Amino acid sequence: MNKHLFMFVLFFLGTNVLLAQKKVSGVVKEADTNEPLIGATVVVKGTTNGVITDLDGHYTIDVNANDVLQFAYVGLETHEETVGERTVINVSLASSSVKINEVVVTAMGLERKAKSLTYATQQVGGGELTRAKETNLINSLQGKTAGLVITPNSTGAGGSSKLLIRGNKSAQGNNQPLIVIDGIPMANSTTTQMEGEYGGRDGGDALSNLNPDDIASINVLKGASAAALYGSMAANGVVMITTKKGAAGSMRVDVSSNTTFETPLDAPKLQSTYGAVVSGSGALAQDSWGEKISGEAKGANRLDEFFRTGMTSINSVSISGGSEKNQSYVSYANTSASGIMPTNTFTRHNMMAKETFKLFDNKVTVNASLNYIIQKGRNRHEPGQYRNPLTGLYTFPANGDFRQYKNEFEKYDEVKGYPVQQWYREVNQDFSANPYWVLHRNPHTEKRDRMMASASIRYNITDYLNIQGRLNYDRIADLYERKIYASTSTTLHNVNGEYRQERDDSRQFYGDLMANFNKTFDAWSVTASIGTSFTDLKETGVSLATSGDVYIPNFFHLANGSKNGVGNKRNKTQKRLNSVFGTAQIGYKDMLYLDVTGRNDWSSTLSYTPNVSYFYPSFGLTALINEMTTLPEAFNLLKARASYSIVGNDVPAYTTNPTHEFSNGSVKFNTAVPFTEMKPEKLKSLEFGFDLSMFDNRFEMDFTYYKTNNTNQYFVMSVPAATGFSRYYFNAGDIQNSGFETTMSWRQPITADLSWKTSFNLSYNDNVIKKLDNRTGIKESDRLTYVSLGSIMGYDMRLLEGGSYGDIYSKTIQRKDGVITVDKDGVPQFTNDFEKVGNVNSKWNLGWSNSFNYKDMQLYFLIDGRIGGNFIDATQAVLDTYGVSKNSADARDNGGVDIGNGTKVDAAKFYQAVGYKGVGGGYYVYSATNFRLRELSIGYAFRNLLGAGKDLGVSLIGRNLFFFYKDSPSDPEVSMSTSNGYSGSNYFALPATRSFGINLKATF
């Protein structure tokens, strides 16, 4: 009886429990992108009852009415919902610059709690790269990351971009950060860049090759402390890229199509009032200082005639899925672009496969990935004076018939037996050529094949100890070809033409082995890693051309030259870096964390010196004040942090033991003194700051102050010829950067369907050259007075003690009491010596983004800007000199140029003087301050349009749409080169563009 009663009671209670439970389902999305989240966790608070969202972001879970559901995803804020009477609960998880319980990926791919970090980082979701895509994905981060300054090249699709974190630190070396993909350093070598006013080409960079749709997130490690584990490779910070991978569940297919149209944003303002002097034979003078045009100005609209509407299309498809033991991700992307300059095209194919295996009861995890990239560019713009269609386009007289030279850019010469260039000027003049001749008869192509393969294996010895090994192989093969047809200017080329071929190959092999420990002991937690790594880099390059006498006109073969195509090997570099490293983090009650790291490098570039081995440490401390004491209820997080680090940096290969060169059948002997006492650069970095989160994490802020000093820079000086050498190297100098970074965001739910998030970032950097030459025991006359980083059109980038990196020097106009000094003929007078006329680096950089979400509709816009700094517009100087600029016409209309006291001098004499080779100094150095609408997106997601869980997103997008304020004639944020000495200058570079278009995303 009692037994039966007991069983009845149990059955009754169990039935009531089961009846009380119900199923709740829904979709978890990312608030910023409104896209479903794969693998988000949904857990009943205080229990182990939980599920993971599938490939469409869906979940279903058994709950009770009084349960609280916790929704979490790495990189996003945790969200809670009380179940109540609901059976459907959809949530959107917001991203944030500061997450209390987030786990982030740091140096060497190690995971750390965000709240425990002792240094500044900033994570950006992959959605920021794909909202409005760029062919170079890193350009999509402009204005979105405090302290990261991105300067695109003005060379069109596939061009390089310069990345700078916390200012320039190295006088002669590379100032760009290390790029890391899934914890593994990537080869980011640049084949060639323009380094002079006469021209040069942008060989592209390795980062621009990647497919933005393959990227899950980017984490910027800004300071030396954050990047210390990567050693000398990361002295300038790290941009960490985490790629997407498959997830357990049914197969998912994502399709994306992004099409944009580009038009010139800031083409030069040319005049159509005055023309060139016409000779008796009807020939036009080379400049436009003639009389007013009485009839039709046939060349007035030549820019509209020349530039076309560009188009860029980026299409991708990815397939992912798998089981608990095996997950797969496969993708293909195609990029096709036609630039605003005729004949400029670019195509790229990206293929990626990624596999994850879990073996032996999940004790072993194997990851393998393969990327293959093929790209080809034709007639990518080359700034500078030669082989540039813009020199002839811009300086063409408005009274000339431009269409005539467009339609008939060549004419068959019966005597020579081949077509020759047609132009209003002598075709052998080295500055100006028919733009269409340059495009069609000076063509060049660039091809790149790239393969990146990586594999890793991790063995979990226990739940707190594992061993991990990784290998990566990165190979880049570049081929550049140029054809120069006969009747091109012979200043640089043979009268019968020229064929040039350049090959560059880069191979980087990387490997590391680490042991990782993570365990909690009551109030204490210990996270530690120890390991070793190697990086082996080999680069080879050869440049061949039809040198000597060219036999057959327009026959493009290396054997068509008298020297049979014998050229010189442009570079051959092999470099090896071996390292051991260790890091440990000790935490106390989740409120206090101490970080210690150490690394020792052995660099082959320091061979033949006693400094081949060098060690550097870092230390950091974090205090969670909200855990240490009771704060007002509004505070969710208040964290103070500080860190100090020392990072070494090696030097270019063969500096300590210079090698001889072989060129054109002979040996070119080295003339540099071997630098057997060379020391590695040493970067000392101090930073401290705080992170703050308030009002249920709706308001978040972080602030960081930093100061870095980079010493032991390497420089070169000339030596007396009697020594048998021409130059020698030495260590000296101290370049200091100090400043701060801050980000702030506010997330505001307005109604149940409407929300708003606004984010603001601001950074300030002050650069000072504390010492240039700190050698002792030498005469003052032997000291290094300044270092020239590069020069263009009379402007020189110089490093001087007490100055700043990026200072501009030039001869300049003489003035007395603000009035320009002129001679008796009204010609301006100039200083004999160079003077400082500006600095190319802006001290302030800021960005302000806003995102409004209403149901399935989203509006996003980003405004960014730079304050301070200067920009050299040498193009404007030439246009003034030739009299084709609007400035020159306005001056003539006003009776001349006012020299500052009401006296006017002849416009032609004035501009031909100040515009020549930059002697006008500050006259063509403009403020780089500017503010613009960087990005705009209006989108709508059609949920379940293609079936259950199959969505379609449509967005109208625009980038770089217009300026709110700009002082310089052309875009001051676009550069001709990523080289140290050529930022912040324009010499017939391609105009910046605005783009607008449509973005489609479909999920199946």
CA distances from 963 to 134, 183, 262, 290, 948 (A): 19, 38, 16, 34, 43
Strands (E), 822-880: 835-839, 844-854, 857-867, 870-873
pLDDT at 791: 82
Judged by phi (left if over 0) then psi (alpha if -120 to 50, else beta), residue 818 lies in left
In whole angstroms, give the CA distance from residue 675 to residue 677. Answer: 6
Q: Which residues pair with 768 in a beta bridge?
A: 736
In whole angstroms, give the CA distance from residue 774 to residue 734. Answer: 9
Label the pairing between strands 178-181 and 238-243. Answer: parallel
- Structure tokens that stand for 320 in this block: 């992912």
pLDDT at 101: 58
Q: Output the CA torsion 14→20→21→26 (10° steps).
A: 170
| Cβ 740 vs Cβ 704: under 8 Å | yes
In whole angstroms, give the CA distance from residue 837 to residue 811. Answer: 9
| Cβ 117 vs Cβ 641: under 8 Å | yes
Would you give the distance in Å from CA 320 to the centre of its chain? 29
Burial label for 595, CB within 10 Å (0-12, 13-18, 19+), is: buried
| Cβ 331 vs Cβ 297: under 8 Å | no
In whole angstroms, give the CA distance from residue 568 to residue 547. Answer: 11
What single letter denotes the amino acid at residue 51?
A: V
| Helix, strand, coil content of the chain in percent (nearest 5) | 10, 50, 40
CA distances from 615 to 224, 234, 580, 618, 721 (A): 14, 14, 10, 11, 38
- How many C-beta atoms lie closer than 10 Å to residue 844's C-beta? 15
Length in residues, the chain: 1004
Burial label for 825, CB within 10 Å (0-12, 13-18, 19+), is: exposed
pLDDT at 666: 66
| Cβ 866 vs Cβ 928: under 8 Å | yes
| CA proximity to 446, closest of 763, 151, 104, 209 | 209
| Cβ 28 vs Cβ 93: under 8 Å | yes
In whole angstroms, give the CA distance from residue 705 to residue 594. Answer: 19
pLDDT at 409: 94
CA distances from 499 to 429, 436, 443, 615 (A): 21, 19, 10, 49
In whole angstroms, give the CA distance from residue 682 to residue 732. Answer: 11
In whole angstroms, give the CA distance from residue 210 to residue 978. Answer: 19
CA distances from 38 to 60, 247, 249, 486, 650 (A): 14, 7, 9, 60, 42
Judged by phi (left if over 0) then psi (alpha if -120 to 50, else beta), residue 199 lies in left
In whole angstroms, give the CA distance from residue 494 to residue 482. Answer: 14
| Cβ 106 vs Cβ 618: under 8 Å | no
- Structure tokens that stand for 317 in this block: 């498809």
Q: What b/e sequence results for 598-620 when a residue is b if at least 16 CB atoms lie within 10 Å of its CB, and e otherwise?
A: bbbbbbbbbeebebbebebebbb
Q: Which residues pair with 756 in a beta bridge?
A: 748, 852
8-state DSSP, 229:
G
| CA proximity to 509, closest of 451, 557, 592 | 451
In a 3-state reduction of DSSP, which class is residue 36? strand
| Cβ 202 vs Cβ 193: under 8 Å | yes
Output phi, psi for 736, to 5 deg: -110, 135
Contacts of 112 (CB under 8 A, 6+ apart): 103, 104, 106, 527, 585
8-state DSSP, 882:
H
CA distances from 430 to 51, 197, 795, 851 (A): 71, 13, 21, 52
CA geometry: angle at 359 spanning 354 and 364, to 5°? 85
In whole angstroms, give the CA distance from residue 529 to residue 583. Answer: 5
| CA proximity to 221, closest of 76, 142, 126, 107 | 107
| Cβ 118 vs Cβ 335: under 8 Å | no
pLDDT at 528: 93
Contacts of 462 (CB under 8 A, 6+ apart): none
Question: Up-side HSE of residue 18: CA atoms within 13 Å toward CB?
Answer: 6
- Residue spans of alpha helices (H) in 389-476: 389-395, 402-407, 435-441
In whole angstroms, give the CA distance from residue 516 to residue 468. Answer: 8
- Counting as low any pLDDT under 50, the low residues of the chain are 1, 5-19, 96-99, 566
- How many C-beta atoms lie closer than 10 Å to residue 510's C-beta? 21
Q: Output the CA torsion 975→978→980→985 (10° steps).
A: -10
What single letter denotes the amino acid at residue 35?
A: E
In a 3-state reduction of DSSP, which class is residue 785? coil
What's the start-to-end Cα distance of the chain, in Å?
59
Judged by phi (left if over 0) then psi (alpha if -120 to 50, else beta), residue 562 lies in alpha
Residue appearing with tokens 């899934």:
182
CA geometry: angle at 762 spanning 761 and 765, to 5°? 145
